Amino acid sequence: VEVRSNAGDGKGKGVFARSIIEQGYVAFEDEPVISMQHSASKEASWACDRCMKRLGSLGDRDAFLGTAGGRVSGSSSSSRVGSGSAVVRCRGGCSECYCCTSCETVAWRHYHHLLCCGPLAGGDREGDDPGRHYMREFNDHADSTNDIFRLAARFYAMIVASLLKDKGEGSSKTGSGAGSDSAESSAASFLDAIRCGWKAPWWSQVALPHDVEDEDEFRSQLKELAGDSFALLRAALKSRIGNVSEREEGSLFSLDVYGSLVGMFELNNLEIFLHNGELEGTGFYPLHSMMNHSCEPNVSMFYEADEEEGEEGDYSPCSKVYAYALRDIEEGEEITCSYLDAEQLELETEERQDLLRDYGFRCTCSSCT
């Protein structure tokens, strides 16, 4: 497949077939730039916090965390649980667990050293790291409002950590172990990976609900909600990265950037369903994010039940998504997916159009016209 900058009909970018793709065959596969398990789903499924590989039962989790709960933080620990799987505990002492040392190391280096809440019991000296308090407040706020804030924070931390690598500030307080790669280059690579889906701030692009009369007040409330979230995240990050100049602070901590990340993830993310539906999450898949909608799509996105762990921190194959052709696709034809689920696609045309308002377009596929 190939990405074209102009898919026609005012749609912007689009994904097109470079050759004939027969029905039932995989048109392409895609890996997430970043993903997470939904907070509510963690009460139903225990999985690697990075790649979402299954770790064991909830009973295994409770036993593992109970055994390791009082461990002094500073290095990751690994042991086998009842299912026989090797589980690695976050070196910071929080409750996050991983399927292998590689996943824990990459998560810690890229973002988690800035977001870790630390031990929940035993050895928790919060005064030594006020960031723990702010991150717990941030997570509680996200869980009670919109947990996409958690994913935005994860990516935002990746950007901040990359910008601070050259100066060593990213590891001065947190022991990130980051390498000596160019900070600007690393940050640019992260931003390039998601620029294809970059949108306006969240509070500006959400469609106005039909029962809301005062649009200015509605958007002001959304911005205030995002602002409260960002204030907690900023306080946590600032407590952990050391002193920065006024100029650097202005470039590092921008509510508009944070709001744009939230908006982009809300509109472009793909919902993740793994392990027979036990695990639910969300992720940003770059190729998928450039696909246009059709109420008569020619591909459908599927995950496959592959439990192999990733190599050197790569995502487990179970996090990959595969675009299967629903019919024969001709060379040069645009590859489309549905932004609506199967049940929503059965609705009347105007009802479907109403659901698509957040995306800022009116569908003109053959089913709608």
Q: What is the pLDDT of residues 128-172, one digit of tens each?
A: 678 899 999 999 999 999 999 999 999 999 988 887 775 554 444
Determine the Cα–Cα distance for residues 278 and 53; give it in Å rounded to an integer. 12
More confident residue, 9 or 73: 9
Residue 183 in this model has a pLDDT that exceeds 60: no
Percent with pLDDT over 70 in the chain: 78
Q: Per residue in 208-263, pLDDT tens?
A: 998 999 999 999 999 999 999 999 999 999 998 877 777 767 777 889 989 999 99
Enumerate the domain spans of the chain.
34-266
For residue 138, what are its two tokens?
Answer: 């941030």
Q: Per residue in 78-88, pLDDT tens?
A: 555 555 568 99
pLDDT of the residue at 305: 59
Q: Per residue in 322-334, pLDDT tens?
A: 999 999 999 999 9
pTM: 0.85
Determine the Cα–Cα distance for residues 202 and 195; give it in Å rounded to an integer. 15
pLDDT of the residue at 358: 85
What's the average model confidence in pLDDT over 182-190? 53
